Amino acid sequence: MNAELIFRQKETRDRFIREMVVWRLSEPVTGCSHLFKYRFYFGTDDGLCIVRYDNERGKGDHKHLLSIEQQYAFQGLKQLLFDFEADIKRTMEDR
């Protein structure tokens, strides 16, 4: 499977890390119907994962909100970014 990196961004601010990585694939990851492999992460610099979106082989598109994992309905990269940012905001407001 060929992969082309199309986006990578990492920011560290006030002990929080926000990293987004997207690759374009030649064929979908098992469990997905699109040609993207992605990992969007938001957490603390000491390792606490607060929000993570990814699509692992076999699991497909899903997200982690603190310790809760749930399926995610992928609707494109713009919507993925919007949903990721909204979950960060919501989760941080609840903390």
- Average pLDDT, integer, range 2-18: 96
Domain hosting 38: range is: 3-94
Q: What was the pLDDT predicted at 48?
A: 96
- Average pLDDT, integer, range 4-32: 96
Reported as a single tens digit per residue, the pLDDT across 31-79 is 999 999 999 999 999 999 999 999 998 899 999 999 999 999 999 999 9
- Cβ within 8 Å of residue 36, ≥6 positions away: 22, 23, 24, 25, 55, 74, 77
Count of domains for the chain: 1
The predicted model scores a pTM of 0.93
